[in-house]
Amino acid sequence: MRNQKSLTALALTSAMLFGCNTTSTTAEQKPTESTVEPVAVAKKQTESERLNAFFEEKFMEAVMRSPQFQTYLGIKKDYGKWNDNSEANAEKELQITKDNLALLQTFNFDLLDPQTKISYQLAELDMEDEIADHKWRYHNYPVNQMRGQHSNIPSFLINQHTITNVKEANDYVSRIAGVNTLIEQLIVQLKIREELGIIAPSFVFPHVIRDSQNLIQGAPFTEGEDSTILADFTKKVTALELDEGQTEQLINDANKALLASVQPAYQNLIDYLIGLEAKSSNDAGAWKFPEGDVFYNHALQDTTTTKKSAEQIHQIGLSEVARIHDEMRVIKDKVGFDGNLAAFMQFMREDSQFYYPDSEAGKQRYLAEATALIDNMKTRLDELFLVKPKADLIVKRVEAFRERSAGKAFYNRPAPDGSRPGMYYANLYDMKAMPTYQMEALAYHEGIPGHHMQLAISQELEGIPTFRKFSGYTAYSEGWGLYTEKLPKEIGLYSDPYSDFGRLAMELWRACRLVVDTGMHVKKWTRNESIDYYVTNTPNAKSDAVKMVERHAVMPSQATAYKIGMLEILRLREKAKTALGDKFDIREFHDVYLKNGPLPLDFIETMVDNYIAKKKSAE
């Protein structure tokens, strides 16, 4: 699977931001002096100013081709529409990317200022990747337990489509009515992959079939409480406080659209998936794809933004697992546990003191304490950072319709216009998968100082083109997330040794990912072999291991980004400390990482080298 430059399921990759959804760009649209009025103003523009204007123009063209990204940005021009996910449009988008790359390369790189040179290089790299990755566009599963149109539709309506007036309520109804087309396009994509022999492993199908069935349960489809989408629509419309007749009419319109569009669409998808399941196998590695080994090594380089091979990453994982086990033994001895590490892990996995009850009260307690951890960390940020996000962060429980198959925890960015805070989602479906000793590290990773610091800051930055604020590199973002699990320990947090063990357990989990991801996709490890590696080497619940292995299966290479990214950040930090000695300021180092927006790791090293040189020259 391609490097996830998109940091939410509905945000676009930075390359796609140069080519999104319906119209093509021609060479005649090149922003030359002759097309800019008044001429006198155009002649005064520097090459950097011209290029940055080009970036903004192409970004907004892309936004205007993507109704869903418009919604994400708070633009409501095409509020009742969905993106066009057809094959024909994919080809149009590829051509737009090619055209825009050709236009980019007409600018004189040597005349650009340093920051704009970075923008040029990033845009060129992203567009070249987008074109090259077109070859691999079918090497994925568009419906799986982690993500896909089947779950994106309700998630988008619930979390992105706000309703503040009658028009926006009607737009919501229009989107409901458009679901049938979206699902038809999805089934086309599944059929293309079926013909290529790219069919999800057997264990994926029960998850996606169940989640799809859940969405057509309840009113107006069946007896009982309102269905997921109708409940959301009714809640939002009722809050408008319209007269009773208007509210009733809107809800009636939504019911009709659900029955005419959503029900047949999802039933068709379910029927197709049931038939496809019969053709599936338990093989879960990318090695089964056409040119699978070539694809996987390409995916690793794209994900980690390094040149490391699958075998190198596998060996790094084995080495890190051994190191972390040694650190865990120190904590085991510190708390006076009588037994070996395996016994201590079993104790941590099974002892009831580390788990809240699987009840509403237990789940609310978890959310409250996770919020308190983040609130406390907010008071310590000045010790570690010069720049801080303006947007707030809230802790939220994963919605019931998707909690059984969703990941353990994840983060959604705030709205750029400030209308929606950042959200740390905790999955409380299985409380045995959410031990209290991991709560602290998980909150830091997904919230503060982790993804919220990084992603909220990136879209609040000034002085860089908009496309850079919304781009993303998995190793950059997830490496930071894992690094910021460790960072609070350096200012005295994790005072409870069990929580510190939980921090190590989270890092160990990411080290094991290096071993298992490469094991599954290159060494042909089976699903059971992969699950056993996690269960044997970590204190996590077996349910964690099952979910993780299923995630490896549908997102080849993605899970390697965390540990590789963290190791690179630590290496660069040590490089700066060694070079600067007592002149090193960790807050400045973090500025280097955060204040240029998402970057590939090799770009980060250049930034750190520049920081070192500038700091030394000021002595």
User: What pLDDT is stored for residue 604 in this prediction?
Assistant: 95
Q: Which is it for strands 393-397 and 409-412: parallel, antiparallel or unpaired?
A: unpaired
> Are 383 and 477 contained in the same domain?
yes
> Are 92 and 159 contained in the same domain?
no
Within a domain: 228:
yes
Per residue in 174-220, pLDDT (tens digit) is 999 999 999 999 999 999 999 999 999 999 999 999 999 999 999 99
> Are 180 and 120 contained in the same domain?
no
- Residue 313 in contact with residue 560, Cβ under 8 Å? yes
pTM for the whole structure: 0.85
Within a domain: 569:
no
* Residue 18's pLDDT band (cuts 50, 70, 90): very low
Per residue in 559-618, pLDDT (tens digit) is 999 999 999 999 999 999 999 999 999 999 999 999 999 999 999 999 999 999 999 988
> Are 108 and 156 contained in the same domain?
no
Its domain, for residue 76, covers 16-136
Provide the residue type at 600 as one letter.
P
> Are 415 and 516 contained in the same domain?
yes
> Are 348 and 436 contained in the same domain?
yes
List CB contacts of 423: < 8 A, sequence separation 6 or more: 159, 393, 394, 395, 396, 411, 412, 414
In the chain, what percentage of residues exceed pLDDT 90?
85
3-state secondary structure 126-151: HHHHHHHHHHHCCCCCCECCCCEHHH
Within a domain: 178:
yes
User: What pLDDT is stored for residue 63 in this prediction?
Assistant: 96
Average pLDDT value for residue range 58-86: 96
Per residue in 411-460, pLDDT (tens digit) is 998 988 888 899 999 999 999 889 999 999 999 999 999 999 999 999 89
> Are 349 and 311 contained in the same domain?
yes
Within a domain: 286:
no
Task: State the total domains in the chain.
Answer: 3
Within a domain: 598:
no
E strands present in 276-360? none
Domain C-terminal end among 227, 242, 277: 277
Domain C-terminal end among 562, 587, 609: 562
> Are 307 and 268 contained in the same domain?
no
In terms of phi and psi (left: phi > 0; alpha: psi -120 to 50; beta: otherwise), the region of 387 is beta
Within a domain: 226:
yes
